[in-house]
Amino acid sequence: MPIATINPATGETLQTFEPLGAEEIETRLERARTTFAEYRTTGFGRRAELLRRAADLLEKDQEDIARTMTTEMGKPITAARAEAAKCVKAMRWYAEHAEALLADEHPSPADVEDSGGTVAYVRYRPLGPVLAVMPWNFPLWQVIRFAAPALMAGNVGLLKHASNVPRTALYLEDLFRRAGYPEGCFQTLLIGSGAVEGVLRDPRVAAATLTGSEPAGRSVASIAGDEIKKTVLELGGSDPYLVLPSADVTRAAEVAVTARTQNNGQSCIAAKRFIVHREVYDEFTRLFVDGMKALRVGDPMDDSTDVGPLSSERGRADLEELVEDARDRGATVLCGGRRPAKHPAGWFYEPTVLADITPGMRIHREETFGPVATVYRVADLDQAIEVANDTSFGLSSNVWTRDREEQERCVRDLQAGGVYLNGMTASHPAMPFGGVKRSGYGRELSGHGIREFCNVTTVWYGTPPDVPVTE
């Protein structure tokens, strides 16, 4: 796959980039190793100073980097600006909280009095260079939510970004350089997917994190497992959106439109399967379809656009195949289901709602990465949970009900890394993010995320630390 900036709104190739050769990869790996040896000894105060400086620069660059993201992968410019602002927030959050999140943990003396030591505690130490294999759909946020905690923990980063967002990838390296980080603290590797294995197997790389497809996650996890290296995986999702009789149906339908079409529908945590109780099915579906029809599809650089193009021609073709398979097997197309006639150029697809979904359809089993929703009619909460869990994914979930018992039942029984009640799934720096089943393992963000790439070290003293040891 070429490393190139191709505008998905027009299909025009704007710039191509030569991938790094073996000699340059070696230089960058060695630079990461030597930089880590020094950077790991810096204090939290210095790390926070650097991260705040990077956040300030990103805030000033917001409009430029937003336009870069929109040009490279097609998200509406308003969403791109919001993504940049969210990154600034996360960077400042980690700059403020990292020291407390990684503070030494001291068990009570009574708990360790039989250990034979005089003092015992836990310290979090950095692992080393971490390889991040990142996707194109949130090209800034996905990287920052790895980089901010990793750098605050004392690690250094190596970024292998998606091949269709090279300008964003290079911007990120330049951002941390301008902020004053030592050379080698954060480096972008412009390489193809075929070069990832060699980098990951290199002994100077301590661990890896990947956000992307299930096949990519399986590949990285197997290579890292063979090398006995830690990984965190955030993979696909087919998130359920349950609407039960006590819900505010009007509000649930309004939020559902955003939940399905955020980022042009290309989000792992976008709601994709709308599972609606029969008592409110007709009302919800009518409102939801009306909301999807009202969305404005068009130029992603226009502030009034709701849905821009898909990121690639292949991505649109994959989505079309899922819709056609469902249609051929008896699904009802309530709206959309085709390329918009107004936009013959670029990789646009109409916001689409499908009903009468059956388990034999591919769209019931596979992730839809675009503005296509499926709706299911269910008889009761038991069936709603059964349908929600009838997937190999388990990233997040949304539940609309005012009934406290139903809320608690969903929190208990939904197989997902998050349960969002009467609202839309979203990531936040203070809350852990990740999934179960084939949506991956490990967590990003919050204290859980910053500790993923730390050496959790037991420190034990046979004599009090302030008493000199004599021979």
The residues assigned a catalytic role are 234, 268
Residue 297 per-residue DSSP state: B
The CA distance from 177 to 142, in Å, is 19
The CA distance from 241 to 261, in Å, is 13
Residue type at 179 in one-letter notation: A
The CA distance from 68 to 54, in Å, is 18
The CA distance from 190 to 164, in Å, is 11
Shortest CA distance to 272 belongs to which of 365, 382, 145, 400? 365
101 Cβ partners below 8 Å, 6+ apart? 446, 447, 450, 451
- Yes or no: say if 195 and 174 are a contact pair by the CB < 8 Å rule: no
Buried b (16+ CB within 10 A) or exposed e, 202-239: bebbbbbbbbbebebbebbbebbeeeebbbbbbbbbbb
- Yes or no: say if 13 and 4 are a contact pair by the CB < 8 Å rule: yes
